[in-house]
Every structure is written in structure tokens, then in C-alpha cells.
Amino acid sequence: MASAKNKNTFWTFADRFEGDKVVWIIVLLLTLFSIVCMFSSSSRLLRDGMTRLDLVKNQFIIVLVGLALILVCYNIKNINFFRWCSQWGFAVSLLLLALLDAHVNLPFLKALNINDAYRILSFAGFQIHVFEVVKVAMVLYLAWAMDALKRGTLKGPRKLIWKKILYLYAPFLLIFVMIIPGSNSSALIIGLLMFVMILLGGGNLKDMVFLAAAGIVILGICFALFSLTREREHPLFDRIGTGISRVLEKEDWEQQVIDNPRGTIPYQTALDAIRQPYSAKIAVKQGGLLGKGPGQSTQRYVVPDMSEDFMYSFIIEEYGLIGGIFVIFLYVSLLARASIIVRNCGSDQYAKLSVAGLCLLITGQAFLHMFVNADLGPMTGQTLPLISHGNSAFLCFSIAFGIILSFSRIAARRIDRETRAAAPLVEMHESSVQARLDDLDNYESGQMQNDLTDLDSYDL
């Protein structure tokens, strides 16, 4: 008969997963949230006679594909494979952004203009949100470049400063510039993320100040070009104008809604300007402590991007403040576990920087999404990772989680090896253990009472 130790139960199956268990739980809970939320989110997603069950089915398929990607990455045990793939992150990002900025229009590959901006490439019918791919790709690329720089394996100029310019600073600035035409918020988020990655990798203060100054100069040049061409039908860097208007906007749209008669153009313009942020705040207000319950959202009929840009408001409306806090807890837990994984990656800088960068990307974007939903900042269009609707974004974040879990698996094995190799703090021989047991028997029988009460026998 097989022993209980060898029985295949759910718990022994779960125990065989060597990656960080907390991260696994976070992934599963976030994906379950995404499926449930898709069932009762915005009706804008319903097309060509689709039902909400069709939405759930589609999201379930995306979740399965995402989990498959996570398992594939998790089961790659050779960190050098990830290191080899990461060195192509900049090339992939550069190619995708070049196609996007060139507004490519081929039979099988097209750049799509959505809301007056090019952010998506359609390849054989599948839409790729380029900026989501660039986020993950550049984090991994910079982790590889800084690790290779430290180990002295980078090819090219002999001087260290020229290697930094060629492999770090030039890619940073080039990617930053190429994102601006499509999205100011994505350019700032990805730029800040790359800046933090270089800083974590050991960038010195002088170089970081120069890099920050270069980024500010680039923004100034883009704004100047926009100002000079703003009268054209298609001004250069027109997204700069959109971003400035959102930050510096002084129009009191709420008052205009009150002052203008219903049905007039000024009334409708003002209403459209405040519809989404105000409805998001109404959703938070109406959610209360416990929420309205699954499928009971009313603001989903008002906010067209409820399933994407305002997913957190939707969660609070249906699941209340408790549901919102629970989602925050998941992302905070991921950040906490990331610090543990990074600490246990030993001296492998590539693994450390990859895990730190990917977790900062996920949690940073999540909290930025929440701030916008709480009306604490201008609209950014950033989704809630692994919950909001968006196929390419979901799959990119799945790859990020898979890499984190793979590296946590490597870190766990390193801890086990070090534990087995470490000498015990106290060596106990069998004879010593038996002698201690005999002393205990004598004490319990009263034979050691005199010895214990005789203070003369102690060296005080």
C-alpha cells in the first residue's frame, strides 16, 4: 500500500509548484476577477449579436492562453534563455514603434488610429497594443544590458561611458521619443520606468542627471514643434497638446453643464468632457462598503471605457470598498513578495533587476489606474493589470508574471541548496541525546533534586 506521503492529493500537487506560492495565488485571484468583471462590465464590448456569456467565454479563453504563457515561462529552468531573449527587447520595441510611427498600411499589417492616436498594430486580425509590449520588453532589455555591462561582456567601444551611451542611454532616449506621438502618458510611464531601472542597476548620479535633463529637453523640443505646427490639419506631436490641455485645463465644465440648456452643443460638449471621470466617481460613491453586487452596476451604461480605463471604479461599484481594498492588497502583496524574491536571487543582477522592474511595472500601473479612477490625476488610459479588458495587455502581463515565477523558482532552489550545504548550528550525537534523556528521567524521578538545590555545586 502506498504511504500517505506518496498520495497524490490537491495539496501535494500544489506543493510541487516550486515558484513563490503567494505570487501564484495573486495571479489566480486577479484572473478570476477579470472573468467575473467581464461578465457585467460595459455593454460597449457586445457586437454582432454577442451576449454577456460570449464575453465571459472570450475572456476565459484569453485567461487560459495567459496561464499557458505563465506555465511556459515558469517551466523554463535555464536563466540564460531569458537572458538571451532579453537582449532583443530593444530591437523588438524599436521595430514595433517604427511601424506604428510610420502608420504602416499593408494588407496583413496596419497601424490603427483610435481616438486620434496610433497605439495599435493589427497583424492578421490580431490587435497588438504596442506600448504594452514595449513596457515588458524594455524592462528585460535594460536588465540584460546592465548585467552584461557589469560582467564586461558587452561588445563595442572599450570606454565604459561609450558602452553606457550605446547600450543604455541611446535606447532609453530613442524609445522615449518614439512613444510620444502615440501617448504622452505611456511615454512618461515607460520613460520613468526605464530611468528607475538604470538607477537600480547602478547608474551614477552624474549620468542620471544628464539623462533626466536630456528627457526634459526632448519634451521641450516636441512642444516647440507642436506649437509651430498647431495650425496645420495634422500638427506634429499633437498628443503633446492633448496632454497639456488635460493638465492645464481651466474650463469649468460642470458649471457649463448647469448654465447651458439641454440639447445645445455647448451643453453636450461640456457633458462629454466630464462624463467619464464624474461617472467613475459616482460609481465609487454608490458602491459604498459592500457594493451593489455582481452585475448590478449602473455606471457601465454611461462610461464607455468602464472595462478598460475605469475598471477599478467598476469593481468598487459592484463589490464595494471591501472589494477595492482587496484588489489593492493583491498588488501590494506582489510588491512585498518581489522584495523577497529579489533578496533571494543571490548575486545574479539580471534576475534581480528583471523581477524588480516587472513588479514595479505591474504595481505602478495598477496604482496609477486607481489614482485616475479616484480623480487624483489626468486621464492616462492605463489599464488595471491582469483585470482590465485588453488581449495583448493581458498576455504581456502574463509573460511578466511567468518570468517572475520562474525566477522565484530559481531563487527558491538556491535557498534550498544553501540550506542543505550549511552546517548545523548545534551538532547532537546519539550518545549525547541519550545522556540528556537519562538526565530528564532522573529529574522526574527525584534523583537529581539534591543536585539542583545544592547551590555550592554552581560556580557563582
| Vertex 180: Cα angle to 174 and 187 (nearest 5) | 80
- Residues 291-306, mean pLDDT to the nearest whole number: 70
Residue 58 has pLDDT above 50, yes or no: yes
In a domain, 440, yes or no: no
280-313: string of b/e by CB count within 10 Å (b at 16+)? bbbbbebbeeebbeeeebebbebbbbbbbbbbbb
Confidence of residue 456 (pLDDT cuts 50, 70, 90): very low
Answer yes or no: is 406 within a domain.
Answer: yes
Considering the domain boundaries, does residue 427 fall inside one? no
At 308, give phi and psi (nearest 5°): -125, -80
Beta-carbon contacts of residue 338 (< 8 Å; ≥ 6 apart): 355, 356, 359, 360, 404
The distance in angstroms from the start CA to the end CA of the chain is 59
pLDDT at 253 over 70: no
- Spatial distance between the Cα atoms of 23 and 341, rounded to a whole number of angstroms: 10
- pLDDT at 459 exceeding the cut of 50: no
Instruction: Tell whether 148 is covered by a domain.
Output: yes
Query: 26: Cβ–Cβ under 8 A, 6 or more apart, which residues?
Result: 330, 333, 334, 337
Per-chain mean pLDDT for the chain: 78
Distance CA 105, CA 99 (A): 9
The verdict on residue 424 lying in a domain is no
Range of the domain at 402: 19-414
Residue 232 DSSP SS3: coil
Q: Which residues of 231-254 are buried (b: 16+ CB within 10 A; e: fewer)?
A: eeeebebbbbebbeeeeeeeeebe
Which pLDDT band holds residue 307 (cuts at 50, 70, 90)? low
Rounded Cα–Cα distance for residues 447 and 407 (Å): 58
pLDDT-derived band at 460, boundaries 50, 70, 90: very low
Q: What's the pLDDT score for residue 455?
A: 39
Is residue 321 assigned to a domain?
Answer: yes
pTM, full prediction: 0.80
Q: What domain count does the chain have?
A: 1
Q: What is the DSSP letter of 113?
A: E
Residue-wise pLDDT for 367-385, tens only, equals 988 888 877 766 777 888 8
With 0-12 CB in 10 A as exposed, 13-18 as middle and 19+ as buried, what is 218? middle
Q: Residue 187 is placed in which grid cell?
A: 511615454
In this structure, is residue 457 part of a structural domain?
no
Judge whether 26 lies within some domain: yes
Encode pLDDT of 75-114 as tens digits.
Answer: 888 888 999 999 999 999 999 999 988 888 888 888 887 7
Any bridge partners for residue 105, and if so which?
A: 110
Asked if residue 286 lies in contact with residue 320, where contact means CB atoms within 8 angstroms, the answer is no
